[in-house]
């Protein structure tokens, strides 16, 4: 596998990283036995897949705890990334210390601001309304301090838009990556974020390569998608239950038409929809690595197979064309959970 460096960090990662949101179990993804977490983490390490991504908010810290237990005795083999919520950005050291304790390690390879610091972002991570928002310059300054002390190796951002990245760069702190949603039916970053990151040597780590299971082909219709996975703007506002807050009509017809095209390509090539979806992301030269949720060995093996697929240029073109109506319908806002006129990303 060809590994790519994240920004100027000196940290190299393989094409597919393991998204650990489901680790530790919880209401969003359901239960996840620790023995399964350990089995898939150990199998990944043995196969050379060493990049693991988690966050303090994932299952209220249980994701970090589960990953830490799985990496016990093997921490040096892994590249571990975690994130701090925007509501906690005024207290970086305290929250980093808590994450390190849960992970059972004395350093993180990558520590990211999970979302930009703005009122809408903070509202989704804290029931308390702070007297004032943390200043981005202050948060970045604190991150620079803990990096200098060796508690983290690299500073990253997640879900930052063009203007927000400009503010980050103005602070003069080295940022190595922007982790953000990118997949066949979520292409908004191509408009502005990709060119900006290329210009400023900020690596892009894609998340949700399979759009939370949608691109595996396991759902035959929008109503088959569980509400927790249907509260994004991809779906009608009624699909996600209480979690749906975007008040948009979605792009359900366009998405399932795209899936029909993907199934035809799947039949032609012999690749599964999941393999096609991951391989398509990896074919994009601006992607340093893509994160894929992985709960068991069979899913890991699928991800590994996808890394070995080189899609023909015509196949990539056909997928691009098939998914273009979805992009046009959803627009250029990369925040797929808020109304495009009231986005956390700008």
Percentage of the chain lying above the pLDDT 90 cut: 93
Inside any domain, residue 303: yes
* 67 domain residue, yes or no: yes
The rounded radius of gyration (Å) of the Cα atoms in the chain is 19
pLDDT at residue 134 above 90?
no
User: Model confidence at 131, in pLDDT bands (50, 70, 90)?
Assistant: low
pLDDT at res. 129: 66
**Quick check: 127 pLDDT over 70?**
no
Domain-embedded: residue 236: no
Active site residues per annotation: 58
**Cα(152)–Cα(241) distance, integer angstroms:** 38
| C-alpha closest to that of 89 among 137, 49, 124 | 137
- Segment 186-198, tens digit of pLDDT: 999 999 999 999 9
- Mean pLDDT over 156-184 rounds to 98
Confidence of residue 126 (pLDDT cuts 50, 70, 90): confident
pLDDT digits (tens, 9 = 90+) for 226-284: 999 999 999 999 999 988 999 999 999 999 999 999 999 999 999 999 999 999 999 99
Q: Residue 179 pairs with which residues in a beta bridge?
A: 158, 205
What CATH number has the domain bearing residue 178? 3.20.20.100
Task: Classify residue 77: in a domain, yes or no.
Answer: yes
The confidence score (pLDDT) of residue 336 equals 98
Q: What is the pLDDT of residue 124?
A: 83
**Is 338 within the bounds of a domain?**
no
Q: What is the reported pLDDT for 219?
A: 97
**What is the average pLDDT across 44-68?**
97
Task: Supply the pLDDT for residue 123.
Answer: 87
Residue with tokens 């396991």: 218
Count of structural domains within the chain: 1
Q: Does the pLDDT value for residue 162 go beyond 80?
A: yes
Main-chain phi, psi angles of 203, to 5 degrees = -70, 150
Distance between first and last Cα of the chain: 34
- pLDDT for the residue numbered 76: 97
Q: Is 45 a domain residue?
A: yes
Residue 335 included in any domain: no
Look at residue 331 and tell me if it is in a domain. no
Domain that holds residue 152: 4-219+273-310
Q: Is the pLDDT score of 130 beyond 80?
A: no
**pLDDT class of 132 with cuts at 50, 70, 90:** confident
């Amino acid at each position: 596998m060809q590994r790519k460096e994240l920004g100027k960090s000196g940290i190299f990662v393989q094409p597919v990283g393991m998204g650990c949101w489901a680790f530790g179990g919880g209401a969003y993804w359901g239960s996840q036995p620790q023995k399964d977490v350990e089995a898939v983490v150990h199998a990944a390490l043995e196969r050379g897949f060493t990049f693991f991504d988690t966050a303090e908010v994932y299952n209220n810290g249980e994701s970090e705890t589960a990953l830490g237990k799985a990496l016990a005795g093997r921490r040096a083999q892994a590249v571990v990334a975690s994130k701090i919520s925007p509501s906690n950005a005024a207290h970086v050291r305290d929250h980093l210390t808590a994450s390190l304790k849960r992970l059972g390690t004395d350093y993180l390879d990558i520590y990211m601001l999970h979302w930009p610091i703005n009122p809408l972002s903070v509202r989704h991570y804290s029931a308390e309304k702070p007297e004032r928002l943390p200043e981005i310059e202050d948060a970045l300054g604190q991150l620079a301090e803990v990096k200098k002390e060796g508690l983290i190796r690299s500073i990253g951002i997640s879900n930052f838009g063009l203007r927000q990245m400009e503010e980050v760069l103005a602070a003069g702190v080295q940022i190595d990556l922007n982790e953000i949603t990118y997949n066949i039916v979520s292409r908004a970053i191509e408009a502005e974020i990709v060119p900006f990151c290329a210009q400023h040597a900020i690596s892009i780590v894609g998340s949700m390569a399979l759009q939370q299971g949608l691109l595996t082909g396991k759902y035959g219709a929008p109503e088959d998608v569980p509400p927790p996975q249907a509260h994004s703007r991809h779906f009608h506002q009624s699909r996600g239950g209480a979690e749906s807050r975007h008040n948009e009509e979605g792009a359900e017809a366009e998405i399932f038409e795209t899936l029909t095209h993907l199934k035809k390509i799947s039949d032609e090539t012999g690749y599964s929809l999941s393999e096609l979806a991951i391989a398509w992301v990896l074919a994009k030269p601006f992607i340093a690595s893509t994160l894929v949720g992985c709960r068991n060995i069979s899913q890991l093996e699928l991800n590994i197979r996808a890394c070995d697929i080189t899609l023909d240029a015509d196949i990539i073109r056909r997928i691009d064309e098939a998914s273009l109506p979805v992009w046009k319908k959803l627009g250029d806002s990369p925040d797929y959970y808020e109304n495009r006129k009231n986005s956390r990303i700008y």
